[in-house]
Amino acid sequence: MYKKITVFFLLFLFWQVGDVEASSSFAVIDVQTGRLLEGSNEYEELPIASLTKVWTALTVLDNASLEDEITISQAAATQEGSSLYLKPGEVWTVNSLLHGLMLQSGNDAAYALAEHVGGSIDGFTQLMNEKFQIAGLNNSHFTNPSGLHHDDHFASAFDMANMFRLALQNEQFKEIASAKSYQPKERNVRWSNKHRLLHDKEIAIAGKTGYTKRAGRTLVTYFKKDEKEIVVVTLNHSNDWAYHTSLAERVFANYDSMKVVKKGKYRLFQKEVIEVENDQYLLVNKEERKKLSNVLLIPRKATVQNPYVWNVTIDHQIALRFNVKKIK
């Protein structure tokens, strides 16, 4: 009898471990283009915990000023999970709450910011989900601004990496997400960024941590080395600090930064003239470099999707998106 119970228990543990591994994923993308460089289960929809707050912060920055003042509500002050210990009736600036959101992962800050921008949590999450559609992220849906577990709250590692990439294009977000510490004017306290790699690794520039029992450990990190820039995301990975570092080092070793479009004016369809305001780079490995070595910088089949985004397809596998200025 004892042996049968032991065997059954071991089989149960094996099933549990297998289930955790199957529900893990990672993605590494090129910051310049959003192109996937490495990944595993990168499109699987999984809970992401407090990585949600990246999209919360960007949604707030798109709709509010850093100097806006927010009076903390009873509902915000009593949010469960990680907290800044805000008190009802306190007045905080958006700037301070965003730092508390990103560095200390305050769920109370997330709720207060959402109320301010969206009028309600439902109103704010609607803004978040509409933003997904505009950004072309197809494997994500949020039900709250903090990342507390809900069965209909999820993202893929690839989508999460691109959320962070898009957020980095906002200079205010980039400054907040890369801050190692911050002292709010509203309270005599100094918050230290929970993202350990920002304190330990020179190539780790910005990021966000996350954890719930259902999501496990989640992590996003922006790495930069010379002209190479990548975002790494892991979902439900227990050894995420070391894994992010090893992934960054491997990608930086195996990929080179290749200039694929030079700054200047270009004419398309014999009518439309566009101006590429900066040289554009692509991270490529050795095999991709060979394929791209003789490619024209402006292929004849290049198309303008709208006045602000120029979509160029090279080798039918590598899609580049560049911000351009339309010349009348």
Which residue ranges make up the annotated binding site for substrate? 208
Is 192 a residue of the active site?
no
For residue 248, give both structure tokens. Answer: 């960054």
Q: State how far the alpha carbon of 80 is from the alpha carbons of 106, 129, 212, 214, 309, in Å.
A: 10, 23, 12, 15, 41
Residues 6+ apart with CB under 8 A from 316: none
Residues 6+ apart with CB under 8 A from 72: 86, 87, 88, 89, 90, 91, 92, 108, 112
Alpha helices by DSSP H, the chain: 2-22, 52-63, 74-77, 94-103, 107-118, 121-135, 157-168, 171-177, 197-200, 240-254, 286-292
| H or E element that contains 235 | strand 228-235
Q: Which member of 24, 50, 96, 146 is catalytic?
A: 50
Q: Is 57 helix (H, G, I), strand (E, B) or coil?
A: helix
Q: How many CB atoms lie within 10 A of CB 113?
A: 31
Among all chains, which residue has been given the structure tokens 């929809």?
A: 45
Is 53 a residue of the active site?
yes
- Alpha carbons 199 and 177: distance in angstroms, whole number: 13
Is 24 a residue of the active site?
no
Residues 6+ apart with CB under 8 A from 52: 110, 142, 144, 145, 146, 147, 153, 155, 210
Query: Which residues participate in the annotated binding site?
Result: 208
Q: Which member of 24, 105, 140, 146 is catalytic?
A: 105
Catalytic positions are 50, 53, 105
